[in-house]
């Protein structure tokens, strides 16, 4: 009887709430996957206003010659004056048109340790200045820490991100080598930084034999710390890094020291997949080009391919933040699971889903040599097509998806003309099983919080600003009275 009375009260309150806060008009459904267009952008580079040697004109010329659709210029905010920032904004506007976007951003800069730098790119903020003269990293500094034991003031990095978010910005942790922390709250992680890779490759080649060197491809191994953690980090390489940095800097760096354990991108993805956290940073890749005024400028050598609805700055920013994208130095990835794109979550309510992959090489001379499907951080299926293209359609049924999972794609191509390997990494697609009946927020109890979530989203459809897929309890792509009833039926039910 008590439960019936409680449900009656809840129902009355709910009707009053939704009557007050919910418009009656229906919202359109999400557009189909094939309505998106593919853009390529490089979002990390520097001009003469910070530590680059090129102008905006130089950057645009190189970007166009390498087939980019957009660049985001990210001079160090600490080096910019207000006049220089305004000049950069105006110049970017001059080079932006219906076929190319030149956008101003900036890089907030703290500690300069070689393997761990407190550097955050910021997009879509109107100015880097928090007040008339100071930028975020000057108000909340992150002091130099050469020992690689993590930031001395990690709370200040959180302050950077909070400020940027308060301005509507998107924040990326640059070349972090596995040092991103949940407390920072960054939107994205730069899992590929071409300048960092080239720099560490050169250092690896210079390590003498008595220190275990030379290390070929050390830049790729250490850049991958951000993705895989310590998977490729051997004891010999760790010792070589410690000894080399002690000689070069006077302080030996233990990668993954107890004071600053590695927190790989795969670990972020797994914790979000199994719902340990409700936060996940997605991935971008850039060049961090400083030689922007030279013929061999790195602009566009690495880039991010992003699927947008329209060719506008706002659509680009939205797609970047949502992770509807892949990082590449060559191969092109098309990847979805049923109607879910990269960066999205598919709620598997019944039957099976179809995992669709299509890969294209970057040139007629280049072959796709490896396609690896990563499931929950572990290699799940591998293909070696040795062809300019590859396509696969894999059924994901109950025998494969018995629990929440995430899938992402890694690609390797080889171009014999250039004698180079090229790489690509997709953002993940998350596949989740439905929650227990009525447990909208998945806290293992059906209570007033679940009712409120449904009430807020009442009469919304996918694509509506109010849409929350958790509220669609009966999975009919409309939050209505049927969803309310289902929550009410299980009200005060507890799950174990």
What single-letter DSSP state applies at residue 327?
A: E
Task: Read off the pLDDT of each residue in 197-219 and give the average, rounded to a whole number.
Answer: 88
**How much is the pLDDT for 3?**
39
Give 437's pLDDT tier (boundaries 50, 70, 90). confident
Question: Domains (ranges, CATH) in the chain?
Answer: 2-30+452-489 (no CATH), 33-272 (3.20.20), 332-433 (2.60.40.2060)
Q: How confident is the model at residue 250 (pLDDT cuts 50, 70, 90)?
A: confident
Q: How far is CA 404 from the centre of its chain?
A: 20
Residue 467 CA to residue 262 CA, distance in Å, equals: 36
Close Cβ partners of 33 (under 8 Å, ≥ 6 residues apart): 336, 339, 341
Q: By the 8 A CB rule, do 188 and 282 touch?
A: yes
Backbone angles phi, psi at 453, to 5 degrees: -60, -45
Q: Which residue in 260, 262, 251, 254 sits closest to 237, CA to CA? A: 254
Residue 186, pLDDT > 90, answer: yes
Query: Global pTM?
Result: 0.86
Computed over every residue of the chain, the mean pLDDT equals 89
Angle of CA points 145, 155, 241, to nearest 5°: 30
Ramachandran area for residue 438 (φ above 0: left; ψ -120 to 50: alpha; else beta): left
Tens-place pLDDT, residues 107-129: 999 987 777 789 999 999 999 99
Average pLDDT of the residues in 49-66:
97
pLDDT band for position 438 (50/70/90)? Answer: confident
Q: Tell whether the model's pLDDT for residue 229 goes beyond 60.
A: yes
pLDDT at 236 (0 to 100): 83
Report the largest interatomic distance among the alpha carbons of the chain, rounded to a whole angstrom.
Answer: 80
Residue 365 has a CB neighbour count (10 Å cut-off) of 12
């Amino acid at each position: 009887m008590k439960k019936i009375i409680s449900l009656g009260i809840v129902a009355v309150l709910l009707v009053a709430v939704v009557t007050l806060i919910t418009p009656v008009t229906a919202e359109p459904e999400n557009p189909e996957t094939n309505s998106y267009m593919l853009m390529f952008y490089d979002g990390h580079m520097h001009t003469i206003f910070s530590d680059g040697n090129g102008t905006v004109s130089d950057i645009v010329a190189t970007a166009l010659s390498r087939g980019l659709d957009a660049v985001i210029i990210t001079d160090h905010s600490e080096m910019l004056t207000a006049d220089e920032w305004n000049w950069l904004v105006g110049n970017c506007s001059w080079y932006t048109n219906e076929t190319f976007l030149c956008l101003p951003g900036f890089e907030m800069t703290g500690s300069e340790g070689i393997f761990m730098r407190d550097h955050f790119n910021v997009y879509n903020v109107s100015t880097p200045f928090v007040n008339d003269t100071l930028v975020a990293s000057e108000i909340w500094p992150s002091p130099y820490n050469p020992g690689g034991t993590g930031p001395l003031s990690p709370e200040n990095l959180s302050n950077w991100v909070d400020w940027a978010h308060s301005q509507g910005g998107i924040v990326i942790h640059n070349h972090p080598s596995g040092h991103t922390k949940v407390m920072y709250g960054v939107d994205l992680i730069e899992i590929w930084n071409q300048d960092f890779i080239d720099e560490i490759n050169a250092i690896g080649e210079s390590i003498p034999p008595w220190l275990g060197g030379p290390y070929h491809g050390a830049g790729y191994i250490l850049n991958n710390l951000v993705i895989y953690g310590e998977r490729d980090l051997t004891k010999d390489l760790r010792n070589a890094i410690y000894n080399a940095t002690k000689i070069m800097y006077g302080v030996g760096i233990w990668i993954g020291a107890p004071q600053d354990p590695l927190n790989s991108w795969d670990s972020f993805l797994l914790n979000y997949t199994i719902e340990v956290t409700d936060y996940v940073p997605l991935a971008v890749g850039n060049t961090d080009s400083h030689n922007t005024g030279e013929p061999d400028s790195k602009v566009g050598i690495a880039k991010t391919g992003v699927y947008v609805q329209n060719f506008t700055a706002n659509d680009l920013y939205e797609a970047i933040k949502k992770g509807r994208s892949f990082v590449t130095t060559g191969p092109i990835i098309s990847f979805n699971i049923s109607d879910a794109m990269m960066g999205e979550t598919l709620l598997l309510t019944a039957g099976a889903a179809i995992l669709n992959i299509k890969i294209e090489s970057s040139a007629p001379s280049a072959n796709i040599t490896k396609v690896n499907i990563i499931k929950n951080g572990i290699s799940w299926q591998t293909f070696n097509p040795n062809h300019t293209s590859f396509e696969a359609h894999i059924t994901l049924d109950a025998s494969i998806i018995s629990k929440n999972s995430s899938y992402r794609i890694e690609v390797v191509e080889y171009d014999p003309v250039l004698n180079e390997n090229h790489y690509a990494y997709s953002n993940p697609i998350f596949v989740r099983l439905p929650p227990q009946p009525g447990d909208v927020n998945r806290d293992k109890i059906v209570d007033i919080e679940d009712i409120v979530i449904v009430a807020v989203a009442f009469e919304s459809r996918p694509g509506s600003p109010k849409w929350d897929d958790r509220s669609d309890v009966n999975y009919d792509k409309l939050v209505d009275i049927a969803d309310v009833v289902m929550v009410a039926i299980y009200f005060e039910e507890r799950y174990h």
